[in-house]
């Protein structure tokens, strides 16, 4: 495993981390608990030490699952969870009020079966609550030792600067992958401020693994089509061209998987401290964690960057 320092937190974290949205079991088709447990075990054995979760992942189910299966392992792990977004009866509700933040924090501590959260992120900005209220409450939770580091997710650079007037923001989480490169500038800016960067959607909701060469049909309300847009036309067809470039590179590396190429690309970026990937089978965990065992050559990275750049232009058009 490759380890990087998560910005000003000083925490040494694995360059790829475990995402648990699908593990939560809502909005991602069928989730098998035993397979998820095996997947987590394989990721940890491979040296992954950062777990990303949220109360919004099926109303706390992902956190409860982690609390149950990680007993005895907590000390060696970095727990990142979030606040301000709830999942109630299939709907995501934003509430960054002090009251909601405190209640969610207490629940996360209980569900995760821990006395502190290493990194606590505000999941999404909330226009209805002044930042001062949210971050003042987070400072209190920090003083009480319930959370160690404060961060944000899905905040613009300006919003991060505003939040920094109230709390020390040490981590930011954003979507970033070969099919969603548009946050690059923002991530570079965040990184320059010494803020640790966590990137999500590293597998483009699965499309970068190459398993969807034909347009898939997901259940209504599946997050792969409601939250992500890679399965819509004309984007889906355009991404297939990128996959062909990745196929060529895979051949040069004795048939490594496309998932490994996608992860290698993300973790090669100096402004990405850890790339989160959603994993819920031992086979995927094995395949993904092996990505840290080899590197893309500089000319291959250039080739991929060109293809990613062209895709972004087409996606804007």
Among 79, 204, 249, 267, binds ligand NAP (CB under 6 A): 204
CB of 145 to ligand NAP, least distance (A): 24
Q: Residue 125, interface with ligand NAP (CB under 6 A)?
A: no
- Residue showing tokens 């490994």: 260
Q: Residue 280, interface with ligand NAP (CB under 6 A)?
A: yes
Q: Residue 279, interface with ligand NAP (CB under 6 A)?
A: yes
**Closest CA relative to residue 272, chosen from 205, 209, 206, 183:** 183
- 157 to 186: interface string for ligand NAP, x by CB under 6 A: ----------------x-------------
The one segment of 101-109, 230-238, 273-281, 304-312 that binds ligand NAP by CB under 6 A:
273-281
Q: Residue 288, interface with ligand NAP (CB under 6 A)?
A: yes
Q: Which residues contact 191 (CB under 8 A, 6 or more apart)?
A: 7, 197, 270, 271, 273
Please state, in angstroms and rounded to a whole number, the distance separating the CA atoms of residues 38 and 269. 29
Tokens coding 59? 């109303």
Task: Pick between residue 140 and residue 236 the one whose CB is nearest to ligand NAP.
Answer: 236
Please state, in angstroms and rounded to a whole number, the distance separating the CA atoms of residues 100 and 138. 11
Q: Residue 153, interface with ligand NAP (CB under 6 A)?
A: yes
Among 197, 202, 225, 289, binds ligand NAP (CB under 6 A): 202
Tokens coding 112? 């995760």
Check residue 14 and give left, alpha or beta (phi > 0: left; psi -120 to 50: alpha): beta
Could you tell me how many residues of this chain bind ligand NAP (CB under 6 A)? 28
Would you mind telling me the total number of residues written for the chain in this entry? 317
- 3 tagged catalytic: no
Phi, psi angles (nearest 5°) of residue 39: -60, -45
The one segment of 41-49, 163-171, 231-239, 270-278 that binds ligand NAP by CB under 6 A:
270-278
Among 52, 118, 181, 273, binds ligand NAP (CB under 6 A): 52
**Neighbouring-strand partners of residue 62:** none
Query: Of residues 57, 79, 176, 228, which has the active-site annotation?
Result: 57
Q: Residue 211, interface with ligand NAP (CB under 6 A)?
A: yes
Task: Pick between residue 14 and residue 20 the one whose CB is nearest to ligand NAP.
Answer: 20
Among 7, 15, 16, 20, binds ligand NAP (CB under 6 A): 20
Please state, in angstroms and rounded to a whole number, the distance separating the CA atoms of residues 273 and 260. 17
- 221 to 260: interface string for ligand NAP, x by CB under 6 A: --------------------------------------x-
- C-beta separation of 1 from 48 below 8 A: yes
CB of 143 to ligand NAP, least distance (A): 25
- C-beta separation of 42 from 8 below 8 A: no
Alpha-helix runs per DSSP H in 129-281: 131-143, 157-163, 184-192, 223-226, 235-252, 258-267
Residue 187, judged by CB atoms within 10 A of its CB (0-12, 13-18, 19+), counts as buried
Q: Residue 154, interface with ligand NAP (CB under 6 A)?
A: yes
Among 67, 160, 201, 231, binds ligand NAP (CB under 6 A): 201
- Residue showing tokens 């990275």: 301
CB of 263 to ligand NAP, least distance (A): 9
Catalog residues that contact ligand NAP under the rule CB under 6 A: 19-22, 28, 52, 123, 153-154, 173, 200-206, 209, 211, 259, 276-280, 284, 287-288
Which positions are annotated as active-site residues? 57
């Amino acid at each position: 495993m490759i380890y990087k320092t998560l910005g000003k937190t000083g925490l040494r974290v694995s360059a790829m981390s475990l995402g648990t949205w699908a593990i939560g079991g809502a909005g991602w088709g069928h989730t098998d608990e035993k397979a998820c447990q095996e997947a987590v075990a394989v990721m940890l054995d491979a040296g992954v030490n950062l777990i990303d979760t949220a109360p919004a992942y099926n109303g706390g189910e992902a956190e409860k699952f982690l609390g149950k299966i990680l007993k005895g392992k907590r000390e060696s792990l970095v727990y990142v969870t979030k606040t301000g977004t709830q999942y109630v009866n299939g709907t995501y509700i934003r509430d960054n009020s002090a009251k909601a933040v405190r209640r969610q924090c207490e629940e996360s501590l209980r569900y995760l079966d821990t006395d502190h959260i290493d990194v606590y992120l505000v999941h999404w900005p909330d226009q209805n609550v002044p930042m001062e209220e949210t971050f003042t409450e987070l400072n209190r939770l920090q003083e009480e030792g319930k959370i160690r580091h404060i961060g944000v997710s899905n905040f613009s650079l300006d919003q991060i600067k505003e939040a920094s007037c109230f709390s020390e923001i040490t981590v930011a989480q954003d979507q970033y992958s070969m099919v969603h490169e548009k946050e690059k500038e923002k991530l570079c800016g965040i990184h320059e401020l010494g803020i640790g960067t966590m990137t999500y959607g590293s597998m483009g909701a699965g499309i970068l693994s190459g398993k969807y060469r034909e347009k898939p049909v997901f259940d209504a309300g599946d997050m792969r089509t409601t939250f992500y847009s890679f399965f819509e036309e004309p984007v889906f067809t355009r991404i297939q061209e990128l996959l062909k470039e990745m196929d060529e590179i895979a051949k040069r590396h004795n048939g490594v998987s496309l998932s490994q190429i996608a992860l290698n690309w993300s973790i090669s970026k100096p402004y990405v401290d850890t790339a989160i990937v959603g994993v819920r089978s031992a086979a995927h965990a094995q395949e993904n964690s092996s990505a840290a065992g080899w590197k893309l050559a500089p000319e291959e990275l250039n080739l991929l960057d060109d293809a990613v750049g062209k895709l972004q232009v087409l996606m804007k058009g």
